[in-house]
């Protein structure tokens, strides 16, 4: 499977401009099965979504559906969403060419940055099947919580859509590699560049293989990263070195409780 990650600058609170940039970058990339964008790529990450959040059927989701249909590929990206009950979610959409949409609401809100004041956390882990592979969805701060993204032999690729500040780049590099190693999976870590009113970002968008070896975008550049995932190699590695079948009991219990369902937020 061929994947393309979009490392882009984000114009603050200008969804139309950001959609235009994203479309240009996607169309400039190699033909892929999936294209992944950063966290809140259409507006920039904000702890105060009242002025920028879109409805669940907003313009950005419609754009993602159009792009997915025209490219015959999945399009993945994060958006601030306003629900009918008036609450807000930091949501990651996984859009398929047939118009179907899976969504994951960020579970670990970034309290340090004030995100928990206005957003409601999601309460369920989400795994999506696409062209024979299983993708686990996560957003930015989730990367720091290994139990939440623990692979109990139920996914192949972990997607982390992020706006990870430059000051914590070392942590980003280490954590994306650690999540790949401990979960015997590919990690698609997509980060933005540029700045917003609070932070600076230098990217570091990366594809990490199950051995923890990264292929990373140049820092600070608007660019795309395309790579073919070697699924045969992944499956062979898991068979020869069965880490996922030796998961600690606490992880198995957590996974069972999660799969039984739970309230959102």
- Residue 174: which H helix or E strand, with range? helix 169-183
Q: Give 166: exposed, middle or buried? Use CB within 10 Å, 0-12, 13-18, 19+.
A: middle
**264 noted as active-site residue:** no
Tell me the CATH number for domain 2-259. Answer: 3.60.110.10
Residue 75: its pLDDT value, please? 99
Mean pLDDT of the chain: 94
Residue 39 appears among annotated catalytic residues: yes
Give the separation between CA 254 and CA 232, rounded to whole angstroms.
29
- The residue from 65, 106, 115, 160 that is catalytic is 106
Measured distance CA(5)–CA(187) in Å, rounded: 11
Which candidate in 103, 140, 160, 185 is catalytic? 140
Give the tens place of pLDDT for each residue, 24-63. 999 999 999 999 999 999 999 999 999 999 999 999 999 9
* Residue 103 to residue 87: CA distance in whole angstroms: 16
Confidence of residue 262 (pLDDT cuts 50, 70, 90): very low
Per residue in 130-173, pLDDT tens?
999 999 999 999 999 999 999 999 999 999 999 999 999 999 99
Determine the straight-line distance between the first and last CA of the chain, rounded to whole angstroms: 33
- CA 149 vs CA 17, 97, 112, 115, 169: distances in Å: 33, 26, 21, 20, 20
The answer to whether 31 is a known catalytic residue is: no
Query: Which pLDDT score, from 0 to 100, does residue 252 have?
Result: 55
Q: Which residues, 6+ apart, have CB-to-CB distance to 222 below 8 Å?
A: 7, 8, 9, 21, 25, 193
């Amino acid at each position: 499977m061929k994947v393309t990650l979009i490392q882009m600058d984000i114009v603050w609170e200008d969804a139309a401009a950001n959609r235009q940039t994203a479309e240009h970058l996607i169309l400039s990339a190699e033909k892929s099965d999936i294209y992944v964008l950063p966290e809140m790529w259409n507006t920039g990450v904000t702890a105060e979504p009242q002025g920028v959040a879109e409805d669940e059927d907003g313009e950005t989701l419609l754009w993602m559906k159009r792009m997915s249909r025209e490219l015959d590929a999945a399009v993945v990206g994060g958006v601030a969403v306003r629900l009918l009950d008036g609450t807000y979610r930091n949501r990651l959409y996984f859009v398929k060419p047939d118009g179907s949409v899976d969504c994951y609401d960020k579970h670990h809100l970034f309290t340090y940055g004030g995100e928990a004041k206005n957003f409601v956390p999601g309460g369920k882990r989400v795994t999506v099947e696409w062209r024979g592979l299983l993708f686990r969805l996560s957003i930015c701060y989730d990367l720091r919580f290994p139990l939440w993204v623990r692979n109990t032999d139920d996914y192949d690729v972990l997607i982390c859509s992020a706006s990870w500040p430059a000051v914590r780049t070392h942590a980003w590099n280490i954590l994306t590699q650690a999540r790949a190693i401990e979960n015997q999976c590919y990690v698609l870590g997509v980060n933005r560049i540029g700045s917003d009113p609070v932070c600076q970002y230098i990217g570091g968008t990366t594809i990490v293989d199950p051995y923890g070896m990264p292929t990373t975008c140049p820092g600070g550049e608007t660019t795309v990263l395309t790579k073919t995932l070697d699924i045969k190699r992944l499956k062979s590695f898991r068979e020869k070195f069965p880490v996922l079948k030796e998961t600690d009991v606490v992880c198995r219990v957590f996974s069972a409780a999660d799969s039984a369902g739970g309230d959102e937020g």
